[in-house]
Amino acid sequence: MKTLANIFLGFFIFEGIVAAPTIDTLTYDSDLYGIILGESDNLFDHIENEQSAQAETEVGTILPFVTQDSYSSAPLTEEPEEEASTPKLIDGSSPLGSGVLGPQTHDGLPTCLLCTCLGTTVYCDDHELDAIPPLPKKTTYFYSRYNRIKKINKNDFANLNNLKRIDLTENFISEIDEDAFRRLPQLQELVLRDNRIRQLPELPVTLTFIDISNNRLGRKGIRTEAFKDMIDLQHLYITDNNLDHIPLPLPESLQALHLQNNNIQEMHEDTFCKMKDITYVRRALEDIRLDGNPINLSKTPHAYMCLPRLPIGSLS
Ligand SMILES: *[C@@H]1O[C@H](CO)[C@@H](O)[C@H](O)[C@H]1NC(C)=O
């Protein structure tokens, strides 16, 4: 996925350069940035809406295109002015600074120079960051994978009312302030996998996708009824966490529950179904993974009656 993102970024930046009106603007100035931001808006939204599988097939079509272009279009062609005049820039106005490149980071660099901003998406993957950089107010998607972030503070995402996805895969996060995510009104996808998190903070009920696999939640890392009110939650991935129980209750909307490689030893007949209501059907939940747990699924034969499919796990 990292490579995929790089390929896309490379493509956009290349396109920006080719589309630049004169050779003079090839320097790393705000004109060029404006063109990159403006141009990529639609393309990027497009990518965001594709499933990764589809996105991958697109790499196939884009890749040869890039290589071909980089040889054939050596003399830069003049482009009409319109692109330069209608860039859709991120609103960088914030208490920490302003300008088209977003707020200033602590190193004095605007976030959109340190990272890459495409439309309202901010990419900070693989930048050796040890904290979340200040984000432009209209940020919708934020990626900061493969960094060295240790802590998420309560103000890191404050007032980012458009934020829909946070992806902090593979950092060193061990601590998250209780308020860090709670007040994000549009947050749908939260990816915190491959960190060192011991305690999951309170989460917004708007979430549809949670991946907190490969952390250190253990016995107490998930509060009781943590997911109960998430009426749109579809994917819940908590593999490799040394969990000793299935977090209940599970919302009706849930489609996939991945709990493999934990320490779950038992389940109740009411975990998924309702023993008092034999007509109850939990239609959505088609994908339950319990393999890699010390649990014998054969001991609770009635626990799966309402499910469209049996959970995957040890039956003997
Ligand atoms: C799993 O449970 C079934 C049903 O109670 C039992 O027959 C089987 O021996 C158990 N397997 C193990 C490995 O405990």
Phi, psi (5° rounding) for residue 313?
Answer: 170, -175
How far apart (Å, rounded) are the C-alpha atoms in residues 167 and 178?
18
Tell me, in angstroms, the distance from the centre of ligand 1 to residue 37's CA.
60
Tell me, in angstroms, the distance from the centre of ligand 1 to residue 264's CA.
16
Task: Judge if the upstream peptide bond of residue 103 is cis by omega within 30 degrees of 0.
Answer: no
Q: Residue 192: inside a domain, yes or no?
A: yes
Tell me, in angstroms, the distance from the centre of ligand 1 to residue 310's CA.
17
Tell me, in angstroms, the distance from the centre of ligand 1 to residue 14's CA.
61
Q: Residue 153: inside a domain, yes or no?
A: yes
Q: Kindly state the percentage of the chain with pLDDT values over 70.
A: 67
For ligand 1, atom 12: residue with the closest CA: 316
Q: Residue 302: inside a domain, yes or no?
A: yes
How far apart (Å, rounded) are the C-alpha atoms in residues 220 and 156?
25
Contacts 24+ apart (CB under 8 A), 102-106: 102/134, 102/135, 102/136, 103/134, 103/135, 103/136, 104/134, 105/133, 105/134, 106/131
- Lowest-confidence segment of 105-109, 116-120, 215-219, 245-249 by average pLDDT: 105-109
Tell me, in angstroms, the distance from the centre of ligand 1 to residue 259's CA.
21
Q: Kindly state the percentage of the chain with pLDDT values over 90.
A: 62
For ligand 1, atom 8: residue with the closest CA: 316
Atom of ligand 1 nearest to the CA of 296: 1
Domain count, the chain: 1
Of 269, 290, 296, best ligand 1 pocket probe by most atoms within 8 Å of the beta carbon? 296
- Token pair, residue 247, equals 């977090």
For ligand 1, atom 13: residue with the closest CA: 316
Q: Can you give the C-alpha Rg of the chain in angstroms? A: 23
Q: Residue 186: inside a domain, yes or no?
A: yes
pLDDT in tens, 110-120: 899 999 999 99
- Domain of residue 150 covers 129-315
Atom of ligand 1 nearest to the CA of 315: 1
pLDDT in tens, 228-263: 999 999 999 999 999 999 999 999 999 999 999 999
Q: Residue 118: inside a domain, yes or no?
A: no
Q: Measuring CA to CA, how many Å separate 305 from each of 18, 58, 252, 263, 295?
A: 60, 41, 15, 24, 18
For ligand 1, atom 5: residue with the closest CA: 299
Amino acid at 81: E
Residue 174 has pLDDT above 80, yes or no: yes
Residue 94 has pLDDT above 80, yes or no: no
Using the structure block, give the residue that is written with the tokens 């009706």: 252
Residue 58 has pLDDT above 90, yes or no: no
Q: In this structure, what CATH number is given to the domain that contains residue 234?
A: 3.80.10.10
| Residue 190 β-bridge partners | 166, 210
pLDDT in tens, 68-84: 333 333 334 443 433 33
Q: Residue 115: inside a domain, yes or no?
A: no
Cβ(212)–Cβ(237) under 8 Å?
yes
Amino acid at 44: F
Cβ(181)–Cβ(188) under 8 Å?
no
Tell me, in angstroms, the distance from the centre of ligand 1 to residue 298's CA.
6
Q: Residue 121: inside a domain, yes or no?
A: no
Tell me, in angstroms, the distance from the centre of ligand 1 to residue 297's CA.
8
Q: Residue 267: inside a domain, yes or no?
A: yes
Of 298, 302, 304, 314, best ligand 1 pocket probe by most atoms within 8 Å of the beta carbon? 298
Mean pLDDT, range 270-297, rounded to an integer:
96
Ligand 1 binding site (Cβ under 6 Å of any ligand atom): 296, 298-299, 316
Query: What does the mean pLDDT of the chain come to?
Result: 78
Q: Measuring CA to CA, how many Å separate 19 from each of 75, 87, 118, 290?
A: 12, 13, 16, 52
Tell me, in angstroms, the distance from the centre of ligand 1 to residue 305's CA.
19
Cβ(161)–Cβ(186) under 8 Å?
yes
